[in-house]
C-alpha cells in the first residue's frame, strides 16, 4: 500500500501572522521508495521544515507556483543551509520563468554552493497541462492559472497500479505467491500447469492518488480539469467573504465551486488573509457557504500550519 503525506508548513496570504507562516507545502510519497517534494518556499520555510520533523536534505525538486515573495523568499536561506549541510546532489527548482529568478538568487551574497542548482522553466500560458517530471510511480504536472503575474498550479499524480486479486488467482489454481506472478507482470500472461492465464484475468486496477495545489489564482477552468477526481484539492482561499474578491485570488466560495465542478474528494482551503485571526470565525463563515452549496462539511478543511493529511 502506498501513501501520500501532506504537511502544511505555511498557510497565510502575503503577510505572516502569529499562527500562520508564508506558503509552503511538504509532500512525502511512500511506495517501495520514499520521495519528498516542496511546493512553494515562503520566508521561514526551512525552520518550518525543522519544526515539522521533515527532512529538507531529502528534497531534490522544489516547485514554485509564482514569484511573489510570500511564495519564494525562503529559498535563499534553505539553499544556504543545504550547502552548509554539505549537499552535493543537484537540486531542481521548477517555476514559471525559473531560470530568470534562480540566476538572480544564485548571485546574491557571498556564498558558493557545493551542489548544482538547476532551474526548470514551467509553461505559464494557455490551457495545456505539462508533465514536468515522471517515474514509473508518479508524475508531477503543471497547468497555467490566473494571478496577474506568470503563475501555475501543480499536481502530484500517482500512476494507476495493477494489483493481483488473490481470490481470482486461486480460482485459476495459482499458488499464493512465487515466480508465476513475476512472469505475469512482465509478460502480461503466464502458462501455469499447461494453462494460459492472462494478467487481466487475475488482477484489478488500483487508481493512483492525486493531490492538486492551486497556488495563488482566481478561479480558473484549467484547475477544474487538473483537479478532476483528485483525492485532495488545496486551493487559494484568501477571503471568506465574497465582497473582498479582487479577482487575483479566490474566495472560499470560489474554491468550493472549483472543487464541486472537479468532483474532487477533499478540499483544503489555504493562503488565508490575516484579516481572519480566529479559526472559529473562519469556520462560522465557511458553514454558511457550505450550507448554501449543500455540501458535506466533512469534505472541507481550513489549513493550519503543521496540519498533516495522509492519503
The distance of closest approach from Cβ of residue 246 to Zn ion in the complex, given in angstroms and rounded to an integer, is: 12
Q: Is 89 helix (H, G, I), strand (E, B) or coil?
A: coil
Helices 75-84 and 45-52 cross at an angle (nearest 10°) of: 60
Calpha distance 109→125 (Å, rounded): 33
Give residues in contact with Zn ion (CB under 5 A). 68, 70, 216
70 tagged catalytic: yes
Sheet-wide strand order for 266-270: 130-134, 138-144, 152-158, 210-213, 232-236, 266-270, 300-302
DSSP state of 193: T
The distance of closest approach from Cβ of residue 70 to Zn ion in the complex, given in angstroms and rounded to an integer, is: 4
Nearer to Zn ion, 158 or 216 (CB): 216
Burial per residue of 10-32, b for 16 or more beta-carbon CB atoms within 10 angstroms, e otherwise: bbbbbebbeebbbbbbbbbbebe
The distance of closest approach from Cβ of residue 42 to Zn ion in the complex, given in angstroms and rounded to an integer, is: 8
The three grid cell numbers given for residue 29, joined into one nine-digit string? 510519497
40, 70, 254, 305: the catalytic one is 70
The distance of closest approach from Cβ of residue 107 to Zn ion in the complex, given in angstroms and rounded to an integer, is: 24
The three grid cell numbers given for residue 142, joined into one nine-digit string? 503543471
The distance of closest approach from Cβ of residue 179 to Zn ion in the complex, given in angstroms and rounded to an integer, is: 54
| Helix, strand and coil percent figures for the chain, each rounded to 5 | 30, 30, 40
Calpha distance 34→303 (Å, rounded): 24
Helices 75-84 and 98-107 cross at an angle (nearest 10°) of: 60
The distance of closest approach from Cβ of residue 247 to Zn ion in the complex, given in angstroms and rounded to an integer, is: 13
Nearer to Zn ion, 27 or 151 (CB): 151
Nearer to Zn ion, 150 or 180 (CB): 150
Calpha distance 251→242 (Å, rounded): 6
Query: What is the set of active-site residues?
Result: 70
Amino acid at each position: 500500500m502506498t501513501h501520500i503525506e501532506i504537511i502544511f508548513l505555511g498557510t497565510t496570504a502575503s503577510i505572516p501572522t502569529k499562527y500562520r507562516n508564508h506558503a509552503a507545502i511538504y509532500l512525502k510519497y511512500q511506495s517501495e521508495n520514499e520521495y519528498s517534494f516542496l511546493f512553494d518556499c515562503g520566508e521561514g520555510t526551512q525552520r518550518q521544515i525543522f519544526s515539522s520533523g521533515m527532512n529538507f536534505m531529502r528534497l531534490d525538486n522544489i516547485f514554485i507556483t509564482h514569484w511573489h515573495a510570500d511564495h519564494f523568499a525562503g529559498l535563499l536561506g534553505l539553499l544556504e543551509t543545504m550547502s552548509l549541510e554539505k549537499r552535493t546532489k543537484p537540486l531542481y527548482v521548477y517555476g514559471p520563468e525559473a531560470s530568470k529568478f534562480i540566476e538572480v538568487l544564485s548571485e546574491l551574497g557571498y556564498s558558493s554552493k557545493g551542489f548544482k542548482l538547476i532551474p526548470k522553466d514551467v509553461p505559464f500560458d494557455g490551457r495545456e497541462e505539462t508533465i514536468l517530471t515522471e517515474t514509473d510511480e508518479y508524475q508531477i504536472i503543471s497547468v497555467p492559472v490566473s494571478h496577474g503575474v506568470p503563475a501555475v498550479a501543480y499536481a502530484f499524480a500517482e500512476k494507476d497500479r495493477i494489483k493481483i486479486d488473490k481470490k481470482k488467482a486461486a480460482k485459476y489454481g495459482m499458488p499464493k505467491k512465487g515466480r508465476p506472478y513475476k512472469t505475469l507482470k512482465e509478460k502480461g500472461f503466464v502458462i501455469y500447469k499447461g494453462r494460459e492465464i492472462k494478467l487481466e484475468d487475475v488482477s484489478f486496477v488500483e487508481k493512483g492518488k492525486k493531490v492538486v495545489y492551486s497556488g495563488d489564482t482566481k478561479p480558473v477552468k484549467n484547475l477544474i480539469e487538473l483537479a478532476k477526481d483528485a483525492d485532495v484539492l488545496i486551493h487559494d482561499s484568501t477571503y471568506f467573504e465574497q465582497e473582498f474578491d479582487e479577482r487575483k485570488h479566490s474566495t472560499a466560495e470560489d474554491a468550493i465551486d472549483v472543487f464541486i465542478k472537479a468532483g474532487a474528494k477533499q478540499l483544503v482551503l489555504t493562503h488565508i488573509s490575516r484579516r481572519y485571526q480566529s479559526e472559529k470565525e473562519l469556520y462560522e463563515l465557511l458553514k454558511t457557504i457550505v450550507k448554501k452549496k449543500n455540501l458535506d462539511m466533512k469534505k472541507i478543511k481550513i489549513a493550519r500550519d503543521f496540519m498533516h493529511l495522509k492519503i
